[in-house]
């Protein structure tokens, strides 16, 4: 070993690679088993009793909020609106006549031709007839609301599930089974154990 130069047994220096450091996003990808669940599920039911007249979607179709899904037979509900309007018009005419009569009786009372009791009776009848008009207006609005319920629309953007009832079938308000289930898929939940 005498006569060897120092470092002759030493290994050669390893090569070194140099690069400039930089900051950037690196995707994180994990492969796991999970369950995909709808972000929101809505079971569509009718709010009124009626016969399904038309269906405006296919199973598995994506639908938008406000899109019509079902239409029930509107005829009975339109008849109720017309009947309520007729009662309103009748009572409006009656109230108008009662008011005119109350005005006449008030003038006659001031002249001393009739008693205060008779005038009060007619004025009370006029107020009662005016109240009947207000009740009729509420009945008309209620009938219009029921008529609007014959158009069943999607409350959310979603994908339709299995259609559980077909055209021509009778449905009851809030009955079971529901007509169709809507599943909101965007955004969506994924659960992992």
Question: Any idea what the Cα angle at residue 148 is, between residues 146 and 152, rounded to 5°?
Answer: 110
**Structure confidence by residue, pLDDT tens digits, 74-98:** 999 999 999 999 999 999 999 999 9
Q: Is residue 153 classed exposed, middle or buried when 0-12, 13-18 and 19+ CB atoms within 10 A define those classes?
A: middle
* Whole-number Cα distances in Å, 135 to 87, 92, 129, 138, 146: 10, 11, 10, 5, 17
Instruction: Provide the mean pLDDT of the chain.
Output: 91
The pLDDT value given to residue 112: 86
Q: Where is pLDDT greater, at 112 or 47? A: 47
Q: Which two tokens stand for residue 190?
A: 């994924």
**Structure confidence by residue, pLDDT tens digits, 21-36:** 888 888 888 888 889 8
Q: What is the mean pLDDT of residues 146-166?
A: 95
């Amino acid at each position: 070993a005498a006569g060897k130069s120092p470092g002759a047994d030493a290994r050669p220096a390893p090569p070194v690679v140099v690069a400039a450091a930089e900051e950037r996003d690196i995707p994180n990808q994990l492969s796991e088993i999970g369950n995909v669940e709808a972000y929101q599920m809505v079971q569509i039911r009718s709010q009124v009793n009626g016969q399904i007249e038309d269906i405006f979607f296919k199973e598995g179709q994506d639908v938008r909020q406000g899109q019509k899904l079902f239409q029930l037979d509107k005829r009975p509900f339109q008849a109720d609106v017309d009947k309520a309007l007729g009662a309103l018009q009748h009572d409006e005419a009656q109230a108008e006549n009662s008011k005119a009569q109350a005005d006449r009786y008030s003038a006659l009372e001031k002249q001393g031709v009739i008693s205060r009791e008779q005038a009060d009776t007619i004025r009370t009848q006029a107020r009662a007839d005016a109240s009947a008009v207000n009740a009729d207006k509420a009945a008309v609005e209620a009938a219009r609301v029921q008529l609007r319920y014959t158009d069943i629309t999607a409350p959310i953007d979603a994908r339709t599930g299995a259609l559980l009832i077909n055209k021509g079938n009778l449905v009851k308000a809030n009955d079971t089974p529901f007509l169709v289930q809507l599943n909101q898929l965007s955004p969506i939940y994924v659960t992992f154990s």
